[in-house]
Amino acid sequence: MSRNMEIDFCGVKFKNPVVTSSGTFGFGKEYNDYYDISALGGIGVKGLTLKPRTGNPPPRVAETPSGMLNSVGLQNPGVESFLKYVLPQLKKIDTNIIVNISGNTMEEYCEMADIISDSGCHIIEMNVSCPNVKQGGVAFGTNPDTIYEITNKVKKHCKIPLVVKLSPNVTDIAEMAKAAEAGGADGLSLINTLLGMSIDIHKRRPILRNNVGGLSGPCVKPIAVRMVWQVKNAVEIPLIGMGGISTGEDAVEFMLAGASLVSVGTANFVNPYAARDTVEGIEKYLDKYDIEDINYIIGKVEAWN
């Protein structure tokens, strides 16, 4: 029996709900060598800044139990290089393109939104939550007034849907979500990495040169699911859920909690086929429970009273 896997997210049609998380999938073409990534609903490209960034000094990645820490620091070639050299190749692939942007000032975010809106990409994901960068991200993403202000300003420069990526490193995630919604966000993505630290007990120094970094992987999944559920109950705009998704079962859990799209991140480093396998896993779930339309399960968790 044919199952409907199509999702309408902020007016953009996705062939299925599975996308990839920024920073874990390169610019897409790297994984296209393993399988045809047009099988995915969309790809989140590596985070971009207005100008090229070299990122943080190494070591900047460390393995942890059930996850990893990273302090890459948004190394990227800059938005102009992406548009000139990378995007033309991505447009040949039949999937949606989600462009993740970061900036040190509101003006940088606005300028990037202007440039990308006319590029043929499908969604802008605004990163206000990256814990690796010493300027911009942390300050923007942990204060509801600032989230409202930057969302409101950047939205005026967007001709395509604007999704705000929320930081979990806050006291009340629902408060931040409502601030972004009030500022005009078309959707939200959550969660970004949790701030963590790992120490080499023999050298008595942090493993990461930046001392701290973003924690991701299966270890964060219960926190991410909880936050998606809380935000779903606080806002009306659609959500992209992420944080430890490795299988179709993981993805379904996020969708039951309230996510319309699900993003595979760290799992791509362990299994290059993880995102494709997640699509197949969701299809098997629909078959098992004879569910005709994927949209039926969004937000359908029956919480205990």
The full set of domains in the chain, from first to last, is 7-55+76-201+218-297 (3.20.20.70)
| Residue 219 annotated to the active site | no
pLDDT at 2: 83
Q: How far apart are CA 227 and CA 233, in angstroms?
A: 10
- Tokens encoding 182: 């009030």
Q: What pTM does this model have?
A: 0.96
pLDDT tens per residue, range 151-187? 999 999 999 999 999 999 999 999 999 999 999 999 9
| Residue 141 pLDDT grade (very low, low, confident, very high; cuts 50, 70, 90) | confident
Please say whether the beta carbons of 101 and 49 come within 8 A: yes
Q: Judging by DSSP bridges, how do beta strands 67-70 and 213-216 pair with one another?
A: antiparallel
- The proportion of the chain whose per-residue pLDDT surpasses 70, expressed as a percent, equals 96
Report whether pLDDT(136) > 50: no
Distances (CA, A) of 271 to 34, 135, 268: 10, 33, 5
| Spatial contact of 154 and 183, defined as CB atoms under 8 Å apart | no
Among candidate residues 30, 78, 29, the one with its CA nearest the CA of residue 54: 78
Per the rule left: phi > 0, alpha: psi between -120 and 50, beta: everything else, 258 is left
pLDDT reading at 132 higher than 50: no
pLDDT of 134? 42
Give residue-wise pLDDT tens across range 201-222.
Answer: 999 999 999 999 999 999 999 9
For the segment 89-100, the average pLDDT, to the nearest whole number, is: 97
Per-residue pLDDT at 133 exceeds 90? no
3-class DSSP state of 224: helix
Across residues 233-248, what is the average pLDDT?
A: 98
In this prediction, residue 135 carries a pLDDT of 46
82: its two tokens: 């992406």
**Residue 183: strand, helix, or coil:** coil
Question: Is the pLDDT assigned to residue 11 strictly greater than 90?
Answer: yes
Single-letter amino acid code for the residue at 228: V
| Two structure tokens written together for 120 | 């043929």
Burial letters 14-30, b for 16+ CB under 10 A, else e: bbbbbbbbbbbbebbbe
Nearest to 268 by CA among 92, 56, 91, 44: 44
CA distance 291 to 205: 52
- What gap in Å lies between CA 99 and CA 46, rounded to an integer? 8
Mean pLDDT of 228-250: 98
Of the residues 10, 110, 121, 130, only one is catalytic, namely 130
- Tell whether omega for the bond before 191 is within 30 degrees of 0, i.e. cis: yes
pLDDT exceeds 70 at position 131: no
Q: Which residues pair with 99 in a beta bridge?
A: 124
Residues 6+ apart with CB under 8 A from 235: 174, 177, 178, 181, 188
What values do phi and psi take at 81, rounded to 5? -65, -40
User: According to the model, what pLDDT value does residue 288 have?
Assistant: 97
Confidence at 105, pLDDT banded by 50, 70, 90: confident
Taking all residues of the chain, what is their mean pLDDT, rounded to a whole number? 95
